[in-house]
Structure 1
Amino acid sequence: MQTSAYYLQLAHINDCHSNFDPVALSLSVDHHGSQIRVACHSGGYGRIATILEQARDKAKRDNQAFLFLHGGDTFQGTLYFNEFKGRANAKLLNMLRPDAMVLGNHEIDSGNAPLHRFVEAIDFPMLAGNMDLSGEDPTKAFPLARLPNLYYLDPSTGCARVIKHPLGDRELAIVGITLDQMSVIARPDPDTHFANTLETCKRTVKALKAEGIDHILVLSHLGLDGDRKLAASVDGISLIVGGHSHTLMGDFAELGLPAVPWGECVNGTAILHAGKYAETLGLADIGFNEKGLVTALNGGNYLMLDEHLVIDGGDEMTRNAIIARLKAHPNILWPAQHPDVQQVIDTEFRPAIRALDHQVLAMVPRELVHTRLPSKALPHGSEVAPWVSRAMYEESRILDGAVQFALHNAGGVRQSLSRGQITLADVLGRLLPFELPLVKYAIEGQYLFEALESAINSATNNSVVGTGAGSFPYTFGLKYHYDGRRPMGERVLSLTVAQNNIWVPVKRQQVYVGVSSAYTASGKEGYDALACCHWQESIDGLTLPGAFIRFIQRHGEIADELAPQLSYVSHLG
């Protein structure tokens, strides 16, 4: 490996989704052949602030450049966002002092106005290098093009506007690139468009090279697969710091967490992601040569735990052994919460939502795992999304008995359910944070076949172009069998609907009445065929989280097991 001439100390987060408090984690640690469960909390802005302060001090002592970057999606996710609509996000991020953030799709979930208010309130650059505002109406109430710290597409060159930081005797350019399918997965204003990510990046990198800038960092919100494609397609990118796919890089297998290689390299470009929900912080010491190539990469993603661990079973000796294992783990830190940041959370924002944390709705007898896609461990996919679909179905039928099925996308459910009490705060702030109206619609069976196949193909990228795993469909009252190895148009092998407790085949020319969220019913994320319905109608007073709340309040618990509503074979076999 060549000798590094230029050094950068980097900290990064992504997809925090308003998780300012530490997030509950369930770890699994092997002890003499037995898996011991450890309940704990990781991360939160208070702990991140402490580590950032230490990292900045270290960089100053080492006389090295330091950057703290955010990979997008600070909006949504918890009651903090429901209550404060981005105001808490702006204030607390200003306290963490990012050098830049890239636009995530959830920042523009509700149109441009909330994004405008947020960008106006933050003290750091928001990068959206492929956001095309050339057609924006300058007389509208919340125009984005007037915001000086929003770095969007330069229409005269087709290049991203970039920021530059000193790096030794050179400059490091930071390019922000976000999803170009934003109109499909979010709700930007109609006059806001997004240029192709690869073409924008190619032009921007070429222009930077022509300026003599070889050290180029892309801050992206494309997901890991998107970043791999970007690195493979565009030569000359030194480093990609990404988000969107919630990928926790690093070997956490001995804790019962994923094991994805940290610092993956594609076409000479290193790629870094730092998980989700502010559970982890990425820290890296990076060396570059004079041509911008990464020649040294050390660091990882780090859990940030406190001392309050709940260890299932075992005697004191076992518990001490587990604690010693955790203390020795190279990717676990034990920081105190930063007093200034924690005081703002505790005094300005938490009081407004504390009461909701104490309003118990029901009991969950065992952990229910939410995963977007089926896997070997969970061949029928999420254990939570089918319950959400059942709640949509039952609560809609109480209001209109004509409803025959519910159809919901995986991304509308945000986390697993722990064993024990589920509170109003759990539902509104963590499980179903999107206050989406429910919509009923009448649709012919042929379009249900099309919608299911298209949504799954989009989720798995089986149709080459996809929007991410969040589009995977979960149902209730509608059962399907999908085989991704079959030709397009033939992948839904069977589709049945429940009638009088009997599963009967869906007839392609027959009309059925379903219920979905307004987001899915609008044809987002591969659900285009739902727009071919005979009619759509909002269900007055019933939202996605509202239906689930009513459902679990009526039942008092989630006790019985749901029969699988889907059978899935991946195109990978």
Structure 2
Amino acid sequence: MQQSYRLHLAHINDTHSNFEPCNVRFTITDKEHTQDPNQNGNQGISHPQYQVATFSGGYARLGYQIEQARAKALQSDSEFLFLHGGDSFQGTLYFREFKGAANAHLLNLLKPDAMVLGNHEIDAGNSPVKAFLNRIEFPLLAGNMDLSQEDKTKDAKLSGHPMLYDYDNDSATAKVLLKPFYDQKIAIVGITLDQMKLIARPDADTHFVHAIDCTRRTVQALKAQGIHHILILSHLGLEQDRELAQAVDGISLIIGGHSHSLQGDFSELGLGKLEYGERINNTPIVQAGKYAETLGLAQIEFDKHGKVIALEGGNHFMLSQQVDIRPQPSENSDETSSLDPQSLSTITLERIKQTLKTHSADLGDTANQAIDDVIHSDYRPALDKLEDETLAYIPRDFIHTRLPSKDFPHGSELAPWVSRSMYKAAKKTEQDLDFALHNAGGVRQNLTKGRLSMADVVGRILPFELPLTLYQIQGVHLKTALESAIDAATNNGIAGTGTGSFPYPYGLRFSYDGKKRPGERVSEVLVYRNKLWQALELDSFYIGVSTAYTASGKEGYGPLLKAQWQKELQQQTLQEAFVDYVSQYSDKITEPLMRNVDFARHN
């Protein structure tokens, strides 16, 4: 028996139909240059900062780099795996136009060894999953997806599909993908969110077994068979991956997704710092960001018992050669002049470019030409028409952040405008409408300054084609819904469903203090009625509008199900509401919206 075993691993997750390179932005401090302490009213010596914009990733660049990694493994006599951590679906016009067909085709060209089922794969029920399974040439793992109660006569039946590794009800373990691994076998176990019914829309006869319990039983069963090299391909998110590693002994490695966590030290690019391969209970965890912008590459050495004894690697951008570099505007300077790139010297530009390449582990923009040709010949033409349709010109950038932060203490700049558009659309049907309420996860990208196309809205910013739903709800249940959604977004005393549940209203204002006792965290709730801000009355009834997703109680919004009535607005979707609003009132977006969320975390 060998004493050590080597694996070259490539991994991606949460690609969300981003087949072409994505726009990426960095903030770089020029530490070699000292800024005039008196310039623009600065106090003391400082270093200038620069905004850097370029493009990274996409499937053609991924395809080339994965080929290189596979060849490198072969040259070093190492085993190789390429794994996808789930959520290939949704996100761009490619999914809106082609559903999962383009996803399956292009993933087949990347040749993954396996992918785990993500929540967005099952947003529209089991039928899209069935169609995806019929097209893919690699296994889809969903080891805690229990299909034992599935209707065997329905068209979208998943149980028994040869490409699906689901839950084995007889053994109460996950079905496992086993692959030869030197003189051993390596097991790949796919575990997805057991809260799937709260954040997605699986068919009613589809259930999800507790992730940790299922994993523990599966690992124990594998160990009993003498299989010790056990990889968990997870779509749980980084926090739950940590919980999983702590709770279950014997996991060799967790390859994760769902939380869009970019591991690695990217603080010098303004992207923060997370340890790549952080260890919990002797189990390293890796995750590779989002949107196919980055590729995780690791060289791993295991001992004969399956323990990782060495892990080297990290996440890599695949950056375009063309880079836009502009000085960061200071608080006291004129924004237009401070953003003038012509003011930068050639030396400064080259220094910033070098900093970017040094600290981004940049692999470059070399692409697999065959994959690029497929994208641009088979799929891109259908999108060009939407790209050409101009809706408005936006006066400035509106940043979307799911949770309030130091830089954005009241949270997203964009989500409240989305709620306002919902309010304006629903007001045409319901004159007594009081408020609109939208979840942060329903908005996917920033709204950037300049030309706004139809493609920007329906393919990037609001890719989910969700109907609007009116409802009448008592004040006490509305207040509870706000607290429940924020608790879920921040894991405050509960196992949350992700930051996407954070609420952004229009016509409502409230404060949340996470350190208070449950039931007392939301206070000072005001409703805009009769052109006045009025205190929410717990016994009174109010009419609101949300997407059908939120109104159905997903992601902590269960109290909305206590509405007196709900009525779906026919022929009115979230996307249409926002398109109508910006088409008519883009000039209004120059006005600052009154802040409607005061937020204090619990930790």
| TM-score of the two chains, using structure 2 as the length reference | 0.93
Comparing 180-189 with 359-368, greater Cα deviation is found at 359-368
Residue of structure 2 in register with 1:570 after alignment? 601
Specify the SS of the correspondent of 2:590. Answer: coil
1:416 pairs with one of 421, 446, 458: 446
Query: In 2, distance between residues paired with 1:236 and 1:146?
Result: 29
Listed as ranges, the matches of 1:99-498 within 5 Å are 99-312=113-326, 313=341, 314-329=344-359, 331-498=361-528
Instruction: String of CA shifts for 1:376-404, please: whole Å, max 9, x gaps.
Output: 11111111111111111112113322111
Query: In 2, distance between residues paired with 1:17 and 1:325?
Result: 29
Specify the SS of the correspondent of 2:214. Answer: helix
Percentage of identical aligned residues = 53
Equivalent residue letter for 2:29: D
Q: 1:160 Cα deviation (Å)?
A: 0.3
Query: In 2, distance between residues paired with 1:463 and 1:60?
Result: 48
Residue of structure 2 in register with 1:90 after alignment? 104
Specify the SS of the correspondent of 1:406. Answer: strand
Unaligned stretches of 5+ residues in structure 1: none
Specify the SS of the correspondent of 1:514. Answer: strand
Query: In 1, distance between residues paired with 2:354 and 2:143?
Result: 46
Q: 8 Å contact 2:266–2:359 — kept in the other structure? A: no
Q: 1:458 Cα deviation (Å)?
A: 1.0
Residue of structure 1 in register with 2:15 after alignment? 16
Q: 1:327 Cα deviation (Å)?
A: 3.2
Q: 8 Å contact 1:441–1:533 — kept in the other structure? A: yes
Q: 1:166 Cα deviation (Å)?
A: 2.1
Specify the SS of the correspondent of 2:51. Answer: strand
Q: 8 Å contact 1:242–1:271 — kept in the other structure? A: yes
Q: RMSD of the TM alignment (CA)?
A: 1.2
Moved over 6 A (4+): none
Query: In 2, distance between residues paired with 1:338 and 1:311?
Result: 28
Q: 8 Å contact 2:420–2:506 — kept in the other structure? A: yes
Query: In 2, distance between residues paired with 1:467 and 1:323?
Result: 38
Residue of structure 1 in register with 2:40 after alignment? none
Q: 1:122 Cα deviation (Å)?
A: 0.1
Q: 8 Å contact 2:86–2:257 — kept in the other structure? A: yes
Query: In 2, distance between residues paired with 1:340 and 1:292?
Result: 38
Instruction: String of CA shifts for 1:275-318, please: whole Å, max 9, x gaps.
Output: 00000000000001111111111010001001111112212221
Specify the SS of the correspondent of 1:202. Answer: helix
Q: Does 2:56 correspond to 1:42?
A: yes
Comparing 555-564 with 52-61, greater Cα deviation is found at 555-564
Q: 8 Å contact 1:480–1:492 — kept in the other structure? A: yes
Equivalent residue letter for 2:590: A
Specify the SS of the correspondent of 1:361. Answer: strand
Unaligned stretches of 5+ residues in structure 2: 34-46, 327-340
Equivalent residue letter for 2:310: A
Specify the SS of the correspondent of 2:295. Answer: strand
Instruction: String of CA shifts for 1:467-503, please: whole Å, max 9, x gaps.
Output: 1111111100000111111111111122110123321
Q: 1:330 Cα deviation (Å)?
A: 5.6
Query: In 2, distance between residues paired with 1:431 and 1:530?
Result: 25
Pair 1:135–1:39, CA change in 2 (3 A): same
Comparing 24-33 with 280-289, greater Cα deviation is found at 24-33
Query: In 2, distance between residues paired with 1:291 and 1:423?
Result: 55
Q: 1:556 Cα deviation (Å)?
A: 2.8
The alignment of Structure 1 onto Structure 2 pairs a total of residues equal to 570
1:530 pairs with one of 542, 560, 564: 560
Q: 1:332 Cα deviation (Å)?
A: 1.3
1:504 pairs with one of 522, 530, 534: 534
Equivalent residue letter for 2:76: D
Q: 8 Å contact 1:7–1:167 — kept in the other structure? A: no
Comparing 236-245 with 356-365, greater Cα deviation is found at 356-365
